[in-house]
Structure 1
């Protein structure tokens, strides 16, 4: 079965129709020709946007000269109520300082230390599932949030505060479009940003709960009773250049993006992976065979036996990248493919289109985990695959996400067999992450 493309749209629509589609679903607003174009220009009355699928341009923007293409403030407009001044939206020296403090917590050795907590979350997720018809997006959101709570603050999702944060994140995700209307209009700083009231309420509640958790952890650190988890590591790490640590407000900003990036994106990828395995029973059988080799206790070395499972998760990230588009802004006059680009233009890099590009990939819309072991795929894997971005701004939790996704998939498939539900083909849409318009419903039976 071939994964569905987004609903096709005409190549030309009115500006207001485009804006409405863009707010509802960033994927359906894009014309089909972008799956074969190297570059495309979009014009509005206030700015120009250029989508770049040319690997050479992507390399220039993300790797060769990233400081000349900072993250666009237009994207920040929609996320500001929740993320504040987090590492996801900052630029320049502020961003570099934040990464110097955060990155050590996600180095290889720390992944090994976090592995038992991931294992426990995988066992808990398997225990929560029941046979019959299940909406797996919601279940995977629960599982991914549990991983974050256990690895970041050493508490399971059943903890009262964790439950409250999780439910508010679900509400926030349902009310927040990927772009706020202010992203399209040249509004002055003092002008209200036109966020939905429900979005603002959820963001305020989430930040209040995270503040409680952060202040409680600071007190535990001061008394010497803090668990050795990711939150403790980050809060105790000083910037090697300035000696400064995150204050409470800065830590709240960072924890907010850890929850958003680590919970929403992983949940999206896991749900789509289960759908792909349900519709490809041969691949599911191979994952089950690997999963049967897992021991009964946390063993980091066991990951090396899950090679095909890892490739399934990697292929899912190709077909359904959780973050479908990234936006940068050029600060200097540029020339892209013989076209002049004025300063202030929006440079759109789209993993969704790049990963399905007809000129770059063999069978671009097909689910083929074995492509990752073939020699002819190496160029695409290097030049046209960026589910976690690329260059200096590559997601600091990329390695964490790959371990989490592979481990949870193996545990779930070891226990259950997943099959499709008739007439329930999910349609991908994008808000904060790529989700299904009406969820992903699958049938579960116990694996003998």
Structure 2
């Protein structure tokens, strides 16, 4: 029996006008990727005053992310959409400022510390189980997984979530993505960033909501003795740049904590939600994953020591992130002339790095739109180009929390599969929609049956 293809969007086959591009970018960033980008290593075009390139060739991506990374800073448009929420934080900074902040947070995500956090992840998986047991047979998985991963990131970042209302904070994130997090006509016309965008004004309330919660948590910690919590905030409070002696200002702390809380739970929750949807669509693969999970766990929750014995659970997550990378499109400025994928790139051009298209590219993947976790078996991935699969980025700025994200996702997914069967629920099949992250719209509603 032929399995249904995972949901995707139909790419456009003819060039978009400026107006069409703006509408598409505001509706769903993935819609601006042309069909040819899924078949060619590089695509070039022009919009208004800017020449742009979409780059899909692995060797060219290696040059952008690693070999000539200084020539390709993050796009000012992307930074403009992020700065109201995360300011000059680890995600938006470049150069020496970025390096010292990266050194400050890296110890929190060292492998030994991530493993030490596994009991927190296991407890979160237990709470997720309890919520699904009480859901009455059907649940919207994005909301459920956001709640689960929010528990974990708050524990890692702040040793608890007593200062946060998860639903209020989550609603503020979504409001921000739908306003300040969308491209503006002024961006396409390259109007300077100091000119206010309408979305920034509409998203200001959401930013205040998020910042107020984070600021209260930081202020409460300042009243306590530092060094006792050994969490992300503790490391940031005590961090000192070895070269300059500087420490993080209150604004640095606020913006970095905001970034890690949003990025640290949103992307993992989406990976879990897409994984559960794919398994509901493919019952035979769900059975295979469940047999593996129950063979190791029985009916208990997963822990760190279990993961090496459940490779297929990891493969499911990786294949879901291939089809639905947490961030489906990146953008870079070009500082100096270069050559990528056999094409001349000029200073002031714009690079788009469509990770969504790379992961579904006809030149690099067999049956690129099909869900096949065996692509990520040890045998299948041997010899595969590192720059063909980029859910966490690459190079010096690869996601510092990648191991953390994968461990919590594996623990939660294995625990749920050992305890529940998931089937397609009522309502329309969700489609991938990106503003800042690739979300399933209008959500992932599944039937959930305890085993």
CA offsets 1:119-159 (integer angstroms, 9 cap, x no match): 11111111112242222112112222122112211214x76
- Could you tell me how far 1:113 is from its partner in structure 2? 2.0
Give SS of 2:15's match.
coil
Alignment match of 1:63 (pick from 57, 61, 66): 66
RMSD: 2.1
**Aligned partners of 2:415, 2:366: CA distance in 1, in Å?**
31
**Aligned partners of 2:395, 2:383: CA distance in 1, in Å?**
17
Q: In the alignment, which residue of structure 2 is the partner of 1:199?
A: 203
Q: In the alignment, which residue of structure 1 is the partner of 2:247?
A: 245
Change in 2 beyond 3 A, CA 1:238/1:356? same
1:142 and 2:147 aligned: yes
Aligned length: 444
Change in 2 beyond 3 A, CA 1:163/1:374? closer
Q: Do 2:181 and 2:199's aligned partners in 1 also have CA atoms closer than 8 Å? A: no
Q: Do 1:330 and 1:343's aligned partners in 2 also have CA atoms closer than 8 Å? A: yes
| Superposition TM-score, scaled by structure 2 size | 0.93
**Aligned partners of 2:166, 2:143: CA distance in 1, in Å?**
16
1:258 and 2:260 aligned: yes
**Matched ranges for 1:207-222 at <5 A:** 207-222=211-226
Q: In the alignment, which residue of structure 1 is the partner of 2:429?
A: 425
Deviates more, 1:355-364 or 1:281-290: 281-290
Q: In the alignment, which residue of structure 1 is the partner of 2:130?
A: 127
CA offsets 1:59-85 (integer angstroms, 9 cap, x no match): 111011111211111111111211111
Change in 2 beyond 3 A, CA 1:392/1:376? same
Q: In the alignment, which residue of structure 1 is the partner of 2:400?
A: 396
Q: In the alignment, which residue of structure 2 is the partner of 1:413?
A: 417
Deviates more, 1:283-292 or 1:250-259: 283-292
1:32 and 2:40 aligned: no
Q: In the alignment, which residue of structure 1 is the partner of 2:92?
A: 89
Q: In the alignment, which residue of structure 1 is the partner of 2:441?
A: 437
Q: Which runs of 4+ in 1 moved over 6 A?
A: none
Q: In the alignment, which residue of structure 2 is the partner of 1:151?
A: 156
Alignment match of 1:105 (pick from 104, 108, 117): 108
| Superposition TM-score, scaled by structure 1 size | 0.93
Q: Do 1:172 and 1:203's aligned partners in 2 also have CA atoms closer than 8 Å? A: yes
Q: In the alignment, which residue of structure 1 is the partner of 2:276?
A: 274
- Could you tell me how far 1:176 is from its partner in structure 2? 4.4
Q: In the alignment, which residue of structure 2 is the partner of 1:186?
A: 190
Q: Do 1:11 and 1:33's aligned partners in 2 also have CA atoms closer than 8 Å? A: no
**Aligned partners of 1:3, 1:242: CA distance in 2, in Å?**
51
Which structure 1 residue ranges, 5 or more long, are not aligned? none
Q: In the alignment, which residue of structure 2 is the partner of 1:330?
A: 334
Deviates more, 1:393-402 or 1:133-142: 133-142
Q: Do 1:149 and 1:162's aligned partners in 2 also have CA atoms closer than 8 Å? A: no
Give SS of 2:361's match.
coil
Change in 2 beyond 3 A, CA 1:261/1:180? farther
**Aligned partners of 2:77, 2:164: CA distance in 1, in Å?**
35
Q: Do 2:302 and 2:412's aligned partners in 1 also have CA atoms closer than 8 Å? A: no
Q: Do 1:372 and 1:378's aligned partners in 2 also have CA atoms closer than 8 Å? A: no
Change in 2 beyond 3 A, CA 1:423/1:202? closer
Q: In the alignment, which residue of structure 2 is the partner of 1:77?
A: 80
Give SS of 1:10's match.
coil
- Could you tell me how far 1:298 is from its partner in structure 2? 6.9
- Could you tell me how far 1:160 is from its partner in structure 2? 4.7
Give SS of 1:28's match.
helix
**Aligned partners of 2:185, 2:122: CA distance in 1, in Å?**
41
Give SS of 1:127's match.
helix
**Aligned partners of 2:97, 2:213: CA distance in 1, in Å?**
25
Which structure 2 residue ranges, 5 or more long, are not aligned? none
